[in-house]
Structure 1
Amino acid sequence: MEDTQDRPNDIEAMQSALQKANAEAQKHREQRNTYKGLATRLAAEKALSEAGLSNAKVTKYLDLSQVTVTDTGELEGLTEQLDALREDLPELFGVNKRVSGGGDAADKPPVSGRPKSSAELIAKQMNG
């Protein structure tokens, strides 16, 4: 008879432990989703950079909720979105960057390592 009286307490203890475990599992799922979203965004930005896009603001054209990171770190669903983006906005891809300082193509003598003194400048003028 004592065995049946202990059962309600055991069931209540099990229910309490189950609720605690479920709450902890939910907390871990939320943390995983937070890091998964960050990992997806960073991996997408890296893939965009490799595709020739250095501006991270381009990610606003992507639906990252449709992109998943596999166990091997590969992105599923991003290639299709990049192809669609390349088709819709080709001007974002393959743009050559200008390098400053290349605008002056005149032939100039090489610049010496130190500035010339006033005596050297006068001597050059006198000698021609």
Structure 2
Amino acid sequence: PGRYLLLVLLMAGLVALSWIGIALLMGLRARHYVAGAVTAVLSGLIIFFIGGGLAPVRYATSRITWLARLFPNYYAIDPMRDLTLFQARPDNLRMVLVILAGFSLASLTLGFGGAARILRRPQP
């Protein structure tokens, strides 16, 4: 990434934070370890391909469904590709960072809130 290394790390960190709360809830709700692990891996693969992991999203927006916009990967993948491969700062970088921060905040709030509720519930 060269001179944009800190921006790439910031975006990668925000994407990771946006999945922590969801992964926490999935892990607490899964009855068996293997079922939770398989669900997490398959979900990650599906979201990667839906979000445009192999092709630039900006050229395939008519093919991207509304479902892709529900995941932070959709917003992060093109700016990260620009920063790492083309050494160019995207025009919408500030908006992407705000969107990713919103996803992270929502995920952590819902994840930790749900985890606290699950852990406080008496076990049968």
**Shared fold per TM-score greater than 0.5:** no
Bin for the TM-score computed over the shorter chain: under 0.3
Q: Normalised by the size of structure 2, how large is the TM-score?
A: 0.28
Work out which structure has the larger RCO, using CA pairs closer than 8 Å and 6 or more positions apart in sequence: 2
* Structure with higher helix content: 2
Work out which of the two has the higher radius of gyration on C-alpha atoms and give 1 or 2.
Answer: 1
TM-score, normalisation: structure 1: 0.27
